A and B are shown apart, each in its own frame.
Chain A
């Protein structure tokens, strides 16, 4: 079923060009809430720029008035001014660092929260196919890459532009011809900048992609270590594969650095070209007496002031491109809107009776049809077992009730209310699912159970666990309830994990309980214990049990046999056995050859 999603995701994963404008606008929106700080930061930065500009001028005064004119008072005065400038620079620098650092940290914090929250809201189908490594890299690497550039980069851009315009203005007032000569190489510089911008972005995109591939590969080999160690031949194959990936990562990194390394020398060369023009043209002007040597020396200074921001901005632009490549991934991730979402007027609906009805439900997984007009009804307090071969749609049925997916057409009703009218919280707090594959988190057993009802007191958690017969299990664990479940649940058997996941569901005290082969890995002894508890626990609740094991099925008031998305038989165990249809055949398969049972029957 799910392979279709995977293909869709692969198609989406291909490099897609989001215009830089869109991304920059998106990033600026992140800064908007911090606009006051941003304004303060710009003010601080502009003041410190002015201080920087004053400093050489003070040195010039110090030399001209103090040293050349042998005025010791002036010398001491200007030295003191220099000291004051240094102290002022310290204050401004501190303010600038704190302001931009704070903005940066806030931005990173906010982005991480948003991405994680967004992931929580996404469709289960989408998160299933997203590679874990990719999401990790998104939250940790990509967001970090964006942060610094967005805050300090924006400030840098504003200050650079101010300096550039200022020096341009002064130059044109001094001498038109020399100004034109100075700026003559600007077009060449812009062409080069543009070229490098594109190249760097491509190169950095590649390095990030390679890193993400590498991350996935390590993730896979760590998670699959048990399998790979079981196959002796695998070691060399995996190492060769990783070697290839790792050496590709190395090459893309070197290549990206090469592109980056070309920027500064190329721009320096262009700038020097403008100096050469100044030396030759300006020099001849000085010789012919058209301008003074002072003007020419001033022009050297201003040319420097003019080109420095251009170069900084260009290098910044390239770093920005790297950040934009990361921003694009975050942006795209946030753009994916869940297909199943809480409607605006969804509300908390108390499930009182607990009746379930599927009315004329059509459903497919991207064209792979599961239900074509399924009608299915469970009365309040009824226990219904759903049986049938793999692929009949049993799990899909439960997915629809919990609204993990929406039907293509038809309705899913609980107590006559469409599940779409329920807030997610109200639906999932009152309907519990014990899945086939119990998922435990790297936390204590107590916390794992408590996840069913965050904030429940310890006593309540322990009471529920104890009612389900978990005491044996808990007492076996080294720290009892405080035993930490290792990542992936390695220190517990599948059966033990199923028990814990069962307790977690029961802690919700749900009106509707869905068991999706929840006890498949329990040994028959534990299962029978659990079943005795279940008989008690299921009283007064509506239950849907999906099971392969007929012993569990027998707890049900009614059995529904599902095949190819259709109900083909329905009734009590005895009725269905008498009918000698699909159910009876299944039953024979499981117990047919057992003499004791036959005798009893």
Chain B
């Protein structure tokens, strides 16, 4: 992860700059609003004077003026809200979209390490925090500063000495605001961590719900949840404490400040230096000083929170995909299906290689089975073919071209892969099958479903292909999900088909039917099958036996059985055991 040296706020400003019109509009309404606010007390004062001299006829003018002022203030505030919210939301939208696009490009290794809850919070809540900063807080602080400048100018020009006394409190206010910011910021960071930990936990609980229930582990899970919940509560209480100290302290400073103004100003009036009217005007404007300073403090805490969020978001942006197109990568137009591994060394963690110098060559159209013990590296081999990871050493060639020299999208377009863990999207069966080719015709979809032996089941559902399957497909049986995934891979008509233990949950009869229908469909395609069920091996022409990250045997079933090596032992162990148990 490379860290950009640029401060997250400056990076956010880059997004703000792109919305020049909205930004200018928002600023304009902020300035107009300030002017209207400054005018209001002047008119109110005039009305009192007029009533005192009993000039009733003039009252109409001021009544209308007040109404007009109120309406225009309302109009301006409405416009300001509209413009600043639009600005904020547009930025949130842009950030969300670019983070989403970036997520799409990140490699497998990123998703291996990261937890979904954290990503979700980044895209939803963190962007919202930023939106709140830009939409509420930023216009607020600009408005406050404008207001402060105008009021301070008025105060200083009205009575310089008195103004100095009044403004003496500002450093204290700044001090309180800053220390608040200092203490609260790390807290927000921690709350964020715990909160996303909590969402990850909820997510786990939901997806592992059946397991938890059958284990009777709900209590245990609840206990763990409570630990997080308690931590969030404790941090919340700390925030409350800091907040409860900060806001009243600001009130105290201002209270003492106005007392000082009355004291000094009072003596000045008694001494005849200023008039009573001037003092009253002065205190009125002093009242207008309070809210802007308070709101700056408020904005600072929002700012702290939003910066935590911004850092998290930019952290994702700064994560470079480990597997990416190299400059000048070429488009792989057609693929015959030759796959070649040359001394491939690979491990998920750099220093722990799983594949230790793997070499083999598969001819176009060959059907190859990968066999080996759990953990031998079978699944890893096939994850390298679509370039989900790059090997640390050696190279992989498709049709004689190093796959690092071609565009990833063009490589994957020719590869169909059915993963060991089937993921079903919570949508209709049709959309699930047509996932890789959304514009597929009805016939194409049905053909793929028939080949995967799932068509009859689908037709038995009242809504057929339009039946919605539950989240993660939990409401389909394991075998049904696997068949759905096979149909999904077949639909894109790949040149290389990879089945990673894809029929483990399908009953033997159906499995046999699937392989029979596949045989016709994949006649000219290269097929890799990772399987545990030895009966399915017979469908492949060639078997690669993998042990400890290397190919140790290579040949047909008959050849390997004759050889009497690892494969023969593996094969017999399943059946030999039956003899033992009988």
Contacts and interface: CB of A to CB of B under 8 A. Distances in A.
10 contacts: A89-B252, A101-B240, A218-B123, A235-B105, A268-B73, A297-B48, A493-B379, A493-B420, A526-B373, A589-B508
B441 interface: no
A286 B50 CA distance: 11
Given A136-B120, A286-B51, 20 more contacts: A1-B475, A2-B469, A82-B262, A94-B245, A105-B236, A117-B222, A131-B426, A215-B120, A218-B100, A222-B111, A225-B106, A226-B419, A257-B82, A262-B78, A280-B63, A391-B457, A402-B213, A441-B208, A487-B115, A526-B373
Nearest to A138: B202
Interface in B548-582: 561, 569-582
Interface stretch (A21-29, A63-71, A167-175, A355-363): A63-71
B499 to A, nearest CB: 12
B164 to A, nearest CB: 18
Contacts of B247: 93, 97
Contacts of A94: 244-245, 248
Contacts of B19: none
A390 interface: yes
Interface stretch (B140-148, B177-185, B300-308, B532-540): B532-540
B517 interface: no
Given A97-B243, A493-B420, A520-B505, A75 B70 contact: no
Report the 3 A-B pairs with minimum CB-CB distance, sorted nearest first.
A2-B475, A86-B255, A265-B74
B507 A532 contact: no
A279 B59 contact: yes
B504 interface: yes
A67 B279 contact: yes
Given A140-B199, A279-B63, A90 B54 contact: no
B474 to A, nearest CB: 5
Given A83-B259, A265-B74, A554 B423 contact: no
A535 B581 contact: yes
Interface residues on B, range: 35 or more
Interface string B472-485: 10111111100000
A353 B425 CA distance: 44
Nearest to A97: B244
Nearest to B376: A523
A521 B532 contact: yes
Given A265-B74, A555-B581, A451 B501 contact: no
Contact of A129 (B114, B438, B471, B479): B471
B67 A428 contact: no
Interface stretch (B10-18, B224-232, B360-368, B518-526): B224-232
B270 interface: yes
B276 A3 contact: no
A596 B270 CA distance: 119
A211 B131 CA distance: 13
Given A230-B412, A250-B89, A591-B535, A5 B240 contact: no
Interface stretch (A11-19, A329-337, A369-377, A470-478): A470-478
A221 B427 CA distance: 13
B4 interface: no
A215 to B, nearest CB: 5
A139 B198 contact: yes
Among A473, A499, A520, find the residue whose CB has the most chain B CB atoms closer than 10 A.
Answer: A520
A501 B212 CA distance: 11
Interface in B439-481: 457, 461, 463, 467-472, 474-480
Contacts of B97: 239, 242-243, 246
Contacts of B507: 388-390, 548, 586
Q: Is the interface of A mostly helix, strand, loop or mixed?
A: helix
A254 B92 CA distance: 12
Contacts, number: 523
A211 B92 CA distance: 12
B298 interface: no
A211 B124 contact: yes
A116 B505 contact: no
Interface in A559-601: 586, 589-591, 593-594, 596-597, 600
B66 A532 contact: no
A298 B1 CA distance: 66
A409 interface: no
B67 A272 contact: yes
Contacts of A237: 438
A282 to B, nearest CB: 8
A216 B120 CA distance: 9
A5 to B, nearest CB: 7
Nearest to B58: A283
A418 interface: no
Contacts of A517: 478, 505
B426 A239 contact: no
Contacts of A238: 104
A367 to B, nearest CB: 10
B386 interface: yes
A265 B189 CA distance: 36
B59 A280 contact: yes
A86 B259 contact: yes
Interface string A219-248: 111111111111111110111001100110
A454 B574 contact: no
Given A94-B248, A227-B435, A230-B419, A135 B202 contact: yes
Given A131-B426, A233-B437, A78 B66 contact: no
Contacts of B508: 548, 550, 586, 589-590
A113 B225 CA distance: 8
Contacts of A272: 66-67, 70
A140 B233 contact: no
B388 interface: yes
A249 B91 CA distance: 12
Interface in B222-267: 222-223, 225-226, 229-230, 232-233, 236-237, 239-241, 243-245, 247-249, 251-252, 254-256, 258-260, 262-263, 266-267
